[in-house]
Amino acid sequence: MTNPNRHPLSDLGEVVRPRYLGELVRPTSGESYDWHTHDFGQLISAASGSMYVGTPDRVLLLSPAMVLWIPPDVEHWMRYGSNNEMRYVDVRKGEAEMIGEDCRIMAMTPLLNALMAGTMPDRATSRAKDHNDALHALLRHELVAAPDVPLSIAMPQDHRIRRFAEAALDDPGVIGSVDSWLADAPASRKTIERLFVTETGMPPSRWLRHARILHAISRLAAGEKVSSVAFDMGYASSSAFSYMFRRTLGRSPSDFCA
């Protein structure tokens, strides 16, 4: 991937920047970038693989059939999974302000996918300016109207629980239970539960379940079978795992497969 601090749009003046500029990237497994910002917005979609994007208060997961929106000037970090093929579409700041000021995960549609593909330089340069302008306007309308998908999780800021949240997000599979996860917390269980609810809107048990779902989606996006992921997460059958998935996200695990 292009170094986030040396991106093509960073070298262009605002006047000459295209409204939308696409780029295909194939990051290596586990590739990551520390905290940084852009003075333009970014749309990211995944043909395969997944990536985590962290903001100061949330972590978002991008998987196939989804679109991630990062507005300009939002501090964030990135970490890729495996088997990655990503499309980036950089958005000029003035245009980005009309899409929204919050990071979002949106559902991909055939039209949205085609419009994002149309921002690739080899396609954009073969069209007249008014043609590109019409496509860009339609792309913006599709993005604004796209439904959100709940593939993010609030990260607590209090040091007494932050490290537990980070460890769980890295590898929730090694956590046998909420009790073992929080066994050495530097506060009473009642205080820890209150902190989780106050800072994330969820009790620890629900937060951990959501972190496990994000981890499972990342594995599905890398090409692992639903049955393998279900077994590793402690479910006796794929159907039980799928039921939990649909109850939590309103979607089946197959919706997130590569």
* pLDDT for residue 10 is more than 80: no
> What pLDDT shows up at residue 1?
47
The percent of residues above 90 in pLDDT, for the chain, comes to 60
Dump pLDDT digits (tens) for 165-203. Answer: 998 988 887 888 899 999 999 999 999 999 999 999 999
Dump pLDDT digits (tens) for 34-44. Answer: 999 999 999 99
> What pLDDT shows up at residue 145?
94
Dump pLDDT digits (tens) for 89-125. Answer: 999 999 999 999 999 999 999 999 999 999 998 877 7
For 139, the token pair is 């792309």
Dump pLDDT digits (tens) for 230-256. Answer: 888 878 889 998 988 888 888 888 888
Q: What angle do CA 135, 20, 134 make, to 5 degrees?
A: 15
> What pLDDT shows up at residue 244?
87
> What pLDDT shows up at residue 11?
53
Distance CA 8, CA 5 (A): 10
Name the pTM for this structure.
0.84
AA letter at 42: Q
CB half-sphere exposure, 234, CA atoms < 13 A:
10
Dump pLDDT digits (tens) for 33-69. Answer: 999 999 999 999 998 899 999 999 999 999 988 999 9
Question: In sequence order, what are the beta bridge partners of 21?
Answer: 90
